[in-house]
């Protein structure tokens, strides 16, 4: 395994899409990784093994529902015992979507979405920040959405959760700035992920792309490239919601 000075990174929702792309980008740069997901754990384990072998890094996969506080505490307990230690770089990427009228959404669906998209940030950051303070600093990056900026029809719950992510980011950034822990977010536009393709037809995605000045949707690796730059940015860059949408919204 690599013996570089890179700090360990935790990436939530890393089995596919943006999370998997971020994992690959950081692995390529030599960061030791902790990856977690709630579903598709077989995929996550395969990705973890691939990245470890390909880039000679330490990469550990956890099955974890980050919307459940008990699960989050358990993985932090496991990371404390790891030879690479607790992560001081956190990328909160886990998220789920819900499409449909608010009148058709059940309270259980609302609560489930909020637990993954918003509660998870509280649970993860609450457990991570004490170790960042002990280590003299750290980094937190949250993956948000343009719908958190402006809202989307038939995506009320998702928009509300991502609006919460944006406010969480700005507020925590103010709280942690004196401790040299920048907190930022990337508000993504339409990204080429399974989450989007499972809810939208190819024609619908093409229609959206036609409305984007860049004339295409974003690729996951592009979000990953920006994530790397933000983790390496000066500490003074904090509390920012950086929109990456090809000029769309």
Catalytic center residues: 158
Q: How far apart are the first and last CA of the chain?
A: 43
Paired with 11 in beta bridges are: 35, 91
CA dist 49 and 42 (Å) reads 11
* Residues sharing a CB contact under 8 Å with residue 30, sequence separation 6 or more, in sequence order: 2, 4, 6, 55, 57
H or E element at residue 189: none
189 is written with which tokens?
Answer: 């536009």
Report phi then psi at 127, rounded to 5: -80, -30
Cβ neighbours around 77 below 10 Å, total: 11
User: Which strands make up the sheet holding 139-145, listed edge to edge?
Assistant: 59-63, 33-37, 9-12, 89-92, 139-145, 183-188, 241-244
How far out from the chain centre does Cα 56 lie?
23
Question: Between the CA of residue 120 and those of 29, 35, 137, 193, 201, what are the distances in Å?
Answer: 26, 15, 21, 21, 29
1 HSE (CA, 13 A, CB side): 16
């Amino acid at each position: 395994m690599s013996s570089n000075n890179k700090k360990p990174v935790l990436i939530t929702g890393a089995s596919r899409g943006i999370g998997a792309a971020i994992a690959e980008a950081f692995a390529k740069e030599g960061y030791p990784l902790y990856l977690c997901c709630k579903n598709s754990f077989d995929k996550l384990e395969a990705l973890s093994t691939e990245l470890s072998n390909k880039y000679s890094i330490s990469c550990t996969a956890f099955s974890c529902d980050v919307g459940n506080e008990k699960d989050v505490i358990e993985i932090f307990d496991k990371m404390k015992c790891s030879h690479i230690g607790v992560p001081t770089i956190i990328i909160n990427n886990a998220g789920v979507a819900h499409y449909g009228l608010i009148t058709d959404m059940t309270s259980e669906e609302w609560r489930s979405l909020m637990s993954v998209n918003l509660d998870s940030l509280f649970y993860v950051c609450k457990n991570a920040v004490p170790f960042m303070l002990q280590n003299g600093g750290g980094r937190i990056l949250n993956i948000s959405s343009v719908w958190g900026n402006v809202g989307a029809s038939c995506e009320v719950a998702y928009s509300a959760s991502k609006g919460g992510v944006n406010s969480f980011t700005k507020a925590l950034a103010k709280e942690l700035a004196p401790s040299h822990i920048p907190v930022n977010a990337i508000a993504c536009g339409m990204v080429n992920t399974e989450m989007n393709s499972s809810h939208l037809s190819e024609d619908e995605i093409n229609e959206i792309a036609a409305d984007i000045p860049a004339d295409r949707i974003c690729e996951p690796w592009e979000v990953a490239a920006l994530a790397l730059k933000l983790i390496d940015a000066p500490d003074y860059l904090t509390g920012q919601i950086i929109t990456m949408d090809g000029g769309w919204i």
